[in-house]
Structure 1
């Protein structure tokens, strides 16, 4: 059984905890997570004032479902694929990719992805993924830690006298609110569907 001193995250509750099975399942989840984030990053939804990609939705949701350890391993695998030149980021292309792309304006947000996955994973481990209100708070925290290094890196690249909030935060808030609302409903709903008991009960 799962350890009683911590709560199961959704992936653990769904797949069980037999060591041999979990090792294989975790490898599959890492691959699935990397593919899912790559596909989501390329999904563009028309939105005002800027089009909305589903990359942050995938990152935050994955962090909650996978937990802190598996989530961080998965996001690092995703970033490693990006450093190798794979076209898996929202703004990358066949000709603009790899470390050159990652060191550009998006680089800070990619660092924020790692922090966000860890934030959501720890929140899920504490049971915050079971109800929409707590899940929404966890997602808000995760979104903030994406923006912080993102805006800081914009300041390093372009100067602190530039309108960094207008460039790197404000245009995306409406889309983020929609994505966070969706994730705040879906993860607790998944718990209800699978009826996975909390390990703290």
Structure 2
């Protein structure tokens, strides 16, 4: 946990980590709520926020942030994309996008671990690996709602271009943050 000041006491470090994770969860919520007109479907900044948080905070705090986000949603807070219109709480998690949300949780570990102390190319590949996890779990879950013949058309094709753009943006943001952090020290 290099981000923590070694002079902090253990309780202070835990509180600081909790605060950072909650800020990460708030950023993920904001990303889920922002919709941008895009082709072929409107795009949220959900993936961008999750991958940025995972790469910037690392696997532990990235996972904690995503867990806090999912816990808030499970409790009925309207943090998810298109909620409350498409449902809230556990009903939303059990719906067609539940597998993607689980994939995001696992991907925070993948992205956070693979992108630690690495350059922008490695971070981009870490995010691609994380995206693979998201799509694998998402499509597996979606198969319970969509016929297998239409699975790729419903759960991957409309989103892949936007997700690749978000990976480029997230990589740029993490790289820029690292440069700013390097100048500040």
* TM-score (structure 2 length as normaliser): 0.91
Unaligned segments of structure 1, at least 5 residues: 3-7, 197-201
The partner residue of 1:24 within 6, 15, 21 is: 15
Shift of 1:94: 5.8
The partner residue of 2:143 within 122, 146, 155 is: 155
Shift of 1:111: 0.3
Of stretches 72-81 and 103-112 in structure 1, the one that deviates more from structure 2 is 72-81
Instruction: Answer yes or no: is the 8 Å Cα contact 1:33–1:62 preserved in 2.
Output: yes
Of stretches 185-194 and 78-87 in structure 1, the one that deviates more from structure 2 is 185-194
Distance in 2, Cα, partners of 1:92 & 1:179: 22
Unaligned segments of structure 2, at least 5 residues: none
Distance in 2, Cα, partners of 1:73 & 1:82: 14
* Mapped pair 1:170 → 2:184: no
RMSD of aligned residue pairs (Cα, Å): 1.7
Instruction: Answer yes or no: is the 8 Å Cα contact 2:86–2:92 preserved in 1.
Output: no
Shift of 1:124: 2.8
* Segments ≥4 residues shifted beyond 6 Å: none
Equivalent residues in 2 for 1:1-201 (5 A)?
8=2, 12=3, 15-20=4-9, 21-93=12-84, 96-125=87-116, 127-128=117-118, 131-160=119-148, 162-195=149-182
Note closer, same or farther for the CA distance 1:94–1:168 as it changes in structure 2 (3 Å cut).
closer
Distance in 1, Cα, partners of 2:111 & 2:89: 26
Residues 161-195 of structure 1 show CA distances to partners (whole Å, capped at 9, x for unaligned) of x3111100110111112111111111122111111
Residues 55-83 of structure 1 show CA distances to partners (whole Å, capped at 9, x for unaligned) of 11111111111111122122111111111
Distance in 1, Cα, partners of 2:25 & 2:165: 23
Count of residues in Structure 1 that have an aligned counterpart in Structure 2: 181
* TM-score (structure 1 length as normaliser): 0.84
